[in-house]
Structure formats: C-alpha cells, structure tokens
Amino acid sequence: MTSWPQLRRRRTVRAGRATGRVLRCGLMDTMLADLAVSVVLYFERPLDDDRLAAGLARALERVPVFAGRLRTEGDVLSAVCDDTGVPLDVYTVEGTLAEAMGRATATGADLVDPVDAPAARLGGAPLLTVRVTRTADGGTVLGCSWHHAIGDLHSFVLLLRIWSAAVEGEPLAEAELVDDQDALLDRVVPAPDCGRPGFRIPAAAEAELLAREVAAAPRANRVVQVHFGEAEVRRMRAEFGAAAGRRLSAGDVLCAHLLSTLRELDGDRAERMLTVPVNARRWLGLSPALVGNLLSEVHLPHRPEDGPAALAGALRAAVEDFPAAHLNLRANLDFLAAVGRSRLGACVPLGFDPAARRFSFSNWSRFGVYRLSFQGRRPVFFSPAANYPLPWVGWTVEGFGGSGFLSTVVLPARLAARVRGADGRAALHRFRAADDELPALAAAVPRVI
C-alpha cells in the first residue's frame, strides 16, 4: 500500500440481546484455542459500513457465539453468548484494490485486525473482528478474524452467509449451537472409529524444538500464492485420473501436484507424511448448520518416486473410506480420557511436525464464498490473510472471481524464493498452455504466481 491506513470510524456491533447461553468447548475446540484464523474478501465497489454493521447485528442474533467471550474454569473451556460484541473498524488507504490483493498474506498489511487468541482464551478479547478498508480506486476490503475455538471455516462461512442475507434483505439461514460438543460426538461417532488419535504428547526435547520453530516462524518462513486456471486443472485431472484409473477431484490433484512439485524443487526424495483435514459433518450425518470444529483428518504417506497421480488417487481413496479408516474423533476423546484433561496443553496435532516436513493441506473450495453478495456486490478475490506462518501448511480456495483455484502455502524462505523463480513457476504451471485465458485480475496482482 502507498500510505498508512487512516482510521475513519470505530464501533462495536452487537445483536442487542444476550442469551447467556454457555457452550462447553470440545476437545478439538480446546486444541485450537491458541489460534485465530484471518481471511480477506475484496470487492470492486464501495460497501456502506452502516448496512454492513446492521446486517452483522442480525447475523449475530443467529450465531451469538461470535459476539461472545471465552472463559476457563479449571480444565474446561467454554464460550459464553453474552453479546459483548464485535469490533468493526473502517479505514481508508491511498493504494488500489489490486495492490491490496497483493498484500493479502503479508505480515503488517493492515487489512485485518487479528484476534488475540491467547488473550481471548482468558476472556479479555473479542472472538471476531471486522475491518473495512476503502481503497483509493473505490474498492473495499472486508477483513475478518475469528477465534478458532468457536468454529472452523464451515462455521465462519455460515456466519458470512447469514450476514450476506441480512444485508440483502433475504431469508436468514439457520445456525445450530452445541451445548457440549464432546457429548454430541460421543452420541454420533461410531464405536470404535479408526483408533488412532490425532494428537500426541512430544518428549521434552521435541517440545522445546517445536516451541523454537513457532517463535522463529515469522522470520524463517514466507507465504507463496499460486493461481491455477480452469484449463490447467482440467488437464491435471485428466492426466492424473488416467494414471490412477479413477475420477479425481480438483482438490485431489491440486494437493498432489503442489506437494510433489514443492518437494521436487526442494530436492527432497524422502518419504514424508501428508495431513488433510476433513469436515466430518456429512460423514456423521450432522446438520450443515452446526457451529463448531467438527473436523477430523486423513494421514497419508507420500513417496516421491510413486508420482503425483498415485498420491492423488490415494487421497481420493482415503476420503471415500474416511468413516471406516480415518475418522478419529472417538479416538481423540479416548486419548484425552487416558492422559487427563490437565495435560491437554502439552498435546500437539499429528499434522504439526515441521522437523519431519509433514505437509498439512486444507481444501477451502466449494464453501460458496464467491456466491455471497453484499449490497449487490460479489467478492472478486478471497484469500487467507496473514495467519501465523508455520511452515509446510497450505490452503486452496477458488481463484479470482471464483475462477480456477488459488493455493496459499507457507514455506521456508529459501524454498519460497526458489518457487517464485523461473524454474519454480515453470514447474508449478507445467499444465498451463500459452493460450489459456486467465482472469484479468491475475495479471494485475504480480505477487500471485
């Protein structure tokens, strides 16, 4: 951006009534209680912040947990729907919307007010923040940050859908809050599930190493964004699908292509593990209106010599066999019962193992973000924002205007530089043809490869 953002307006948005409902956070919620998630949505026209605030207030009536606060009693984390509210700030900048897109993931981009997750865990900070930034060319950036303990991306997009409908004067979708998530899972998760918990307690030496990795992450790692066009992904699906002998999704092939290419550029031929979070609602027959962290994951070995098609096929098979072979929510509860809730703070997810270069890939596509409308305007770009830059983590969403796909990956600085270079771009876009049509915005945002 060409200037520091100028604060124009500050307010706190509330539903107007507090239900006082207390939601006991589950194991997965509590494991995520030191994390916030930040995203940005870009619009080519101005959005009126009064209408945005009024719509958000109505949305908070349906999903009051986002306007609440956390509290901890003993070893139990809870969310209290007390309508303390959501800060909504309005800023202006001199830069253009395209310039703001190029800084979506940059630390200090000032497009989001990141939720202070540790402070919020103690009850002293909001669980959702909203920043509206007006660019000099008439664009609007809607930056949102929420506390991971109160919900996954599915939960946040549900809030966005209700917010959008409220602004547009359309019927509001339902949202369902859970009084005790672990009790809910105990009722619906098969017994037994896969039997392998998704958490572990590292030895003291490894715990110290992980702590140093987290502390050094902002200096040691860089964020890279790659746009894959529609035609590119079709070719990828056709080639990998023929080799694997089965139909593959765009998410399957993008994950396999990205991981294989990144490891090729890194010169890494060792067998490594891949972790892919899975939204468990559909697999457990739960309502899509359910708010919370209803997540499990798939864990797969990646052997570079097998090729990307084999990895894509293995991922598709794992997802299709997810309830029987990978669902681990009951195993997580059993693990907690065995070690004791007091040791929960010592646990780390299996997917966080930077020393072993374990890659975690989240597919954020197909959540319908580009179908949202605020004041008749749909977003032209959606991206993760400057979340904590832990290495070997990636997200894929739809690309500009919902066309193609945008992959965001956090890599060690040296590898990130190699990926951004000519050889890296050529390897990542080996399925792109010279005459492929790409969205105009893709060329206007040079930081996106």
DSSP states of 364-395: -TTS-GGG--BTTB--SEEEE-S----SSEEE
| 448/101 Cα distance (integer angstroms) | 9
The per-residue pLDDT string of the chain (449 residues; one tens digit each, 9 = 90 and over) reads: 446 889 999 999 999 999 999 999 998 899 888 899 999 999 999 999 999 999 999 999 999 999 999 999 888 899 999 999 999 999 999 999 999 999 899 877 789 999 999 999 988 899 999 999 999 999 999 999 999 999 999 999 999 999 999 999 999 999 999 999 999 998 998 888 888 999 899 999 999 999 998 899 889 999 999 999 999 999 999 999 999 999 999 999 999 999 999 999 999 999 999 999 999 999 999 999 999 999 999 999 999 999 999 999 999 999 999 988 888 988 988 888 888 888 888 888 888 899 999 999 999 999 999 999 999 999 999 999 977 788 999 999 999 999 999 999 999 999 999 999 999 999 999 999 999 998 888 888 878 99
Q: Do domains 18-184 and 201-365+387-444 have the same CATH topology?
A: yes
CATH architecture of 201-365+387-444: 2-Layer Sandwich (3.30)
Domain residue spans of the chain: 18-184, 201-365+387-444
| 439/48 Cα distance (integer angstroms) | 27
Cβ-contact 42, 126 below 8 angstroms: no
Write the CA distances from 182 to 23, 194, 244, integer angstroms. 11, 17, 38
Bridge-based pairing state of the strands 199-200 and 348-349: antiparallel
User: What length does the chain have?
Assistant: 449
Q: Which residue has the tokens 């998530």?
A: 181
**Domain 18-184 grouped into CATH 3.30.559.10:** yes
Phi and psi at 408, nearest 5°, equal -115, 125
| 115/37 Cα distance (integer angstroms) | 8
DSSP structural state of residue 448: B
